């Protein structure tokens, strides 16, 4: 039996603002753009401190926006951000469970549907400072201590 009533609707987006987010899931798929092969990273975030119930998503396409992936990994304290030979698998492993502070806002997309955007990744400690609290960095899995 599943209590679907208690689940948050994917349409429940948080109010615009900065939130503490935790990577819940990462899906990696091959991607091609203008004849160049790469990978699409579909990243699912949840609120790390319970400030909202739903989920927000980020889509990062490598190698086209490596700066964005590097910013996310750096903000989460991952050493993978400095890896000169990162693979899709090593990046996905480094992202799993990562906590960061990010700015979220929603806008009406060109398809007339609401779209949630995530930007300005910063270390989770920034969120705590904004809220006047302290933050302890969670231990990273051994696989990310390269």
Residue 120 sits in a domain whose CATH number is 2.40.50
Q: What is the pLDDT of residues 60-81, one digit of tens each?
A: 999 999 999 999 999 999 999 9
Is residue 146 one of the residues assigned to a domain?
A: no
Q: For residue 136, which phi and psi values (nearest 5 degrees)? A: -100, 130
CA 8 – CA 10 distance, rounded (Å): 6
pTM of the model: 0.79
Q: Which domain holds residue 93?
A: 14-141
Is residue 29 one of the residues assigned to a domain?
A: yes
Give the H/E segment covering residue 100.
Answer: strand 99-108
Is residue 3 one of the residues assigned to a domain?
A: no
**Looking at residue 8, what is its pLDDT?**
55
Is residue 47 one of the residues assigned to a domain?
A: yes
Averaged pLDDT, 8-30:
83
Is residue 31 one of the residues assigned to a domain?
A: yes
Is residue 108 one of the residues assigned to a domain?
A: yes
**Looking at residue 67, what is its pLDDT?**
94
């Amino acid at each position: 039996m599943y209590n679907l009533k208690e689940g948050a609707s994917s349409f429940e987006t948080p109010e615009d603002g900065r939130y503490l987010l935790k990577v819940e899931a990462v899906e990696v798929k091959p991607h091609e753009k203008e004849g160049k092969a790469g990978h699409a990273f579909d990243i699912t975030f949840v609120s790390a401190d319970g400030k909202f119930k739903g989920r927000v998503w980020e889509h990062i396409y490598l190698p086209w926006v490596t700066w964005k992936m590097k910013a996310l990994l750096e903000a989460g304290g991952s050493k993978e951000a400095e890896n000169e030979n990162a693979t899709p698998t090593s990046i996905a492993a480094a992202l799993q469970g990562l906590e960061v502070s990010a700015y979220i806002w929603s806008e009406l997309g060109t398809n007339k549907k609401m779209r949630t955007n995530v930007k300005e990744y910063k270390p989770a400690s920034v969120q705590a400072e904004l809220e006047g609290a302290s933050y302890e960095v969670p231990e990273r899995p051994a696989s990310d201590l390269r």
